[in-house]
Amino acid sequence: MAERHTGKDANDEAKAEQDLGAFSELFSAKSGIDGQDGGVVTVLLILGFKRGLFDAAVVVKRKEGYNAEPIATKNVDEVLAARGTKYLKVTTIPKLLELIDQGEKKIAVVCTPCEAMAARKIQQPLKKNAPDVDVTIIGLFCFEAFNYIRLKEETKKILSIDIDKAEKTQIHKGKFTVHLEGKEHSCKVRDLDKAVENCCRFCSDFSAQQADISVGSAGSQNGYSTVIVRSKTGKRLLEGLDVTKAGVNKEEIVKLSKLKKERAKKHLRM
């Protein structure tokens, strides 16, 4: 069985499953915000700010072209400006540490599974040295992340587009779709294998098992986000959440989780 994450508030109601990790709730949701899939991550951040659950957040925002960077924000407008998934490897931990060094006590961080694991490790010494610092981890489903330069090259070659001009990108059911000038350009995700960051091939966590709450598109219909609640902090963040709920195809998440584990084992043996 998978181990529960080592956060300070592991949910007593959570059950552990080998491929999904520990969780107490699993559902599909759509918010009223125009964000990625169901816009759930954005609405969770806005709700958290409004309820005083955190005073600052680390999110990833597009900068020039399709490239992206982590930012530390303390207001809802910047959260809204950072909407949408960026399928690039972006390191958020330095911004989290920066906020802690600045004396921030209640912080949310939106990150991929590998970053969620790093954030969880940071929490361990904080329990002793800064027990009043409270970090909420919102993890994103992630099978792999792309290198910006290589992704730009591959999408130019395969789709004949300049991804720097993309209005939105989306990965759903094995397809990478770029929305550009009112048109959709898509290819199979596996066709972009040359653009994948090498380190991703060794990662075995698909659904961000170390997070307080995990969000992704796998398992949900178009326009909805899958939500996995993993801790008391995650459960508290859901209070007052106004979303439309739907069913989840749990087996789709399990399938991708198994595939990522098998790939990691394969590359570790090489």
216 exposure class (CB count in 10 Å sphere: 0-12, 13-18, 19+) = buried
Between CA 3 and CA 21 the distance in angstroms is 7
pLDDT given at position 29 = 94
Please write the tens of the pLDDT for every residue from 22-77. 999 999 999 988 766 778 999 999 999 999 999 999 999 988 899 999 999 998 99
Between CA 15 and CA 98 the distance in angstroms is 34
Please write the tens of the pLDDT for every residue from 231-266. 999 999 999 888 999 999 999 999 999 999 999 999
Cα torsion angle, 102, 104, 105, 108, sign = negative
CATH of 15-144+205-260, one of 3.30.1340, 1.10.760, 1.10.3470, 3.40.640: 3.40.640
Pairing of the two strands 213-216 and 134-140: parallel
> What would you measure as the largest C-alpha separation in the chain, in angstroms?
53
Between CA 86 and CA 104 the distance in angstroms is 26
Please write the tens of the pLDDT for every residue from 131-155. 899 999 999 999 999 999 999 999 9
Quick one: tokens of 228? Answer: 């996995």
pTM given for the model: 0.91
Quick one: tokens of 116? Answer: 């969620």
Domain boundaries, the chain: 15-144+205-260, 146-196
- Of 184, 126, 189, 124, give the one whose Cα is nearest residue 154: 189
Compute and round to an integer the Cα radius of gyration of the chain. Answer: 18
Between CA 48 and CA 55 the distance in angstroms is 8
In sequence order, the 6+-apart residues with CB closer than 8 A to the CB of 79 are 42, 45, 46, 49, 57, 59, 73
CATH of 146-196, one of 3.10.450.750, 3.40.50.970, 3.40.50.300, 3.40.109.10: 3.10.450.750
Of 130 and 10, the structure prediction assigns the larger pLDDT to 130
Quick one: tokens of 3? Answer: 């181990």
pLDDT band at 3 (very low <50, low <70, confident <90, very high): very low
pLDDT given at position 64 = 85
